[in-house]
């Protein structure tokens, strides 16, 4: 019998009304007991004086680039980076090369996961074969073989009939479609938010209307036919308002936002950490801020925060999208879209706690409790909560320490982050998966 006792922590989990409970006992990878004081002999003890213990983070949206672009990331390095960031469970998108769209590819991917991962790595399938938006994959077969849900992430499903059919089949299997909400017909090859920054830099704008149109259509389909749909990386105020109204009407819609859309606005494109420079160099920009959907206005950012706080947005997920330095060392319109977020997501959100824009409890709800409940419903996983009988997936945080983000900080293969050069309050000291310490910061 393997035992591990965490003592003198501030244990926090809003789903269980835990706040400042001190001790937690793990037996054989499961949470056995939670109490103000536990005195147990013959057990390894981890002392947590001045540290906080929260549930292991769950990331519903990562790109590990495996297979196809493993020079950017692979399943091993991606899962290690996620573990360092406090994540004990992740959901991989299927826009690999080739895409995961059949049972053979899924079985091969599971072998790689089993051989290389110390965290729980779950796989999606694409919705359509080859992500071409034309013919559906075998949703029944792939569901029976453990696919979490289905996504053509990177591309919206343009045909509403195909989307509705996919939702019907996925929902029948207690799964859903993770929708990339951007109408390609309205993007106009845009790469940056439609606003003053685009005008000053002379860059082609990527209008909000592309997202708004997609969100509105997907919700109408869900409402009309009683479907459950999951909307990825919501980025603007108008989308939030549509989702908020839909939820009031009882539409089953799950909404996701990324840490970078909560923390940054379009001014970060200048590479000035969100501050408008006193002088404008028309060639000055940081390609690490190029992401789809783009960083939006400050008004949009604040609307997203409001939506997280009032439960309009359910899940915070990283959309971890690693790219090599060579890929990003390019013109803004030629650089690939994506931000490396696995290792920086949680500490970034802690800065919003410092600014009183979010609470730690709300971060736990959206990065642990709610995604854990979704996965529990789909795969019968007992994760995302500090609760007796649940998997002992935990994160120890030191709120008094600091995290310095430089090029040497990343254990991911890539470091495409606009946060390089930042010093943030708070630090992840330890990640525990199934009762085993899989990451420890010893500095």
Catalogue the active-site residues: 319
Parallel, antiparallel, or unpaired for β 252-257 and 30-35?
A: unpaired
Whether 258 contacts 316, CB under 8 Å: yes
Contacts of 435 by beta carbon, 8 Å cutoff, 6+ apart: 2, 4, 26, 27, 28, 29, 30, 392
Coil/strand/helix, residue 328: helix
Q: Give the separation between CA 114 and CA 112, rounded to whole angstroms.
A: 6
- In Å, how far are 11, 53, 86, 203, 278 from 394, measured between CA atoms? 10, 7, 8, 43, 44
Contacts of 211 by beta carbon, 8 Å cutoff, 6+ apart: 181, 182, 183, 234, 235, 236, 239, 293
Residue 197 is given by DSSP the state: H
Q: Give the separation between CA 368 and CA 363, rounded to whole angstroms.
A: 8
Torsion of Cα atoms, 399 then 400 then 401 then 402, to 10°: 80
Coil/strand/helix, residue 287: helix
State residue 315 phi and psi, 5-degree precision. -135, 135
Whether 26 contacts 386, CB under 8 Å: no
- In Å, how far are 200, 201, 207, 322 from 195, measured between CA atoms? 9, 10, 9, 26
Q: How many CA atoms lie within 13 A of 377 on its CB side?
A: 13
Contacts of 298 by beta carbon, 8 Å cutoff, 6+ apart: 265, 267
Q: What is the 3-state secondary structure (H, E, C) of 245-274?
A: HHHHCCCEEEEEECHHHHHCCHHHHHCCCC
Query: Closest Cα partner for 203 from 153, 262, 156, 266?
Result: 266
Q: Give the separation between CA 48 and CA 405, rounded to whole angstroms.
A: 24
């Amino acid at each position: 019998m393997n035992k591990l006792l965490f003592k003198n922590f501030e244990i926090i989990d809003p789903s269980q009304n835990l706040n400042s409970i001190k001790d937690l006992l793990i037996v054989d990878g499961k949470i056995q007991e939670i109490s103000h004081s536990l005195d147990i002999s013959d057990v390894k003890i981890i002392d947590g004086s001045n540290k906080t213990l929260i549930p292991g983070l769950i990331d519903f949206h990562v790109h590990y680039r495996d297979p196809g672009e493993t020079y950017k990331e692979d399943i091993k390095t991606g899962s290690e980076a996620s573990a360092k960031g406090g994540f004990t469970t992740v959901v991989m998108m299927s826009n690999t090369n080739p895409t995961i769209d059949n049972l053979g590819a899924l079985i091969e991917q599971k072998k790689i996961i089993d051989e290389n991962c110390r965290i729980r790595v779950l796989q999606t399938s694409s919705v359509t074969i080859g992500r071409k938006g034309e013919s559906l994959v075998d949703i029944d077969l792939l569901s029976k073989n453990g696919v979490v849900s289905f996504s053509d992430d990177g591309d919206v499903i343009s045909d509403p009939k195909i989307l509705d059919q996919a939702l019907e089949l996925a929902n029948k299997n207690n799964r859903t479609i993770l929708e990339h909400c951007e109408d390609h017909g309205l993007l106009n090859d845009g790469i940056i938010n439609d606003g003053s920054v685009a005008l000053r830099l002379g860059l082609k704008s990527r209008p909000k209307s592309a997202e708004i149109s997609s969100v509105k259509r997907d919700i109408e389909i869900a409402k009309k036919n009683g479907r459950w749909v999951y909307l990825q990386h919501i980025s603007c105020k108008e989308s939030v308002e549509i989702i908020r109204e839909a939820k009031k009407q009882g539409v089953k819609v799950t909404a996701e936002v990324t840490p970078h859309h909560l923390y940054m606005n379009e001014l970060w494109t200048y590479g000035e950490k969100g501050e408008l420079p006193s002088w404008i160099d028309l060639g000055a920009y940081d390609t690490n801020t190029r992401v789809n959907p783009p960083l939006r206005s400050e008004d949009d950012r604040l609307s997203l925060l409001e939506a997280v706080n009032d439960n309009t947005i359910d899940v915070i997920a990283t959309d971890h999208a690693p790219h090599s330095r060579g890929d990003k060392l390019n013109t803004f319109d030629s650089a690939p879209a994506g931000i490396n977020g696995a290792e920086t997501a949680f500490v970034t959100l802690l800065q919003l706690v410092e600014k009183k824009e979010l609470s730690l409890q709300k971060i736990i709800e959206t990065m642990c409790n709610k995604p854990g409940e979704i996965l529990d419903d789909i795969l019968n996983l007992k994760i995302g909560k500090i609760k007796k009988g649940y998997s002992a997936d935990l994160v120890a945080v030191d709120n008094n320490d600091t995290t310095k983000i430089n090029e040497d900080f990343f254990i991911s293969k890539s470091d495409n982050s606009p946060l390089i050069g930042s010093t943030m309050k708070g630090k992840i000291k330890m990640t525990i998966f199934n009762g085993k310490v899989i990451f420890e910061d010893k500095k």
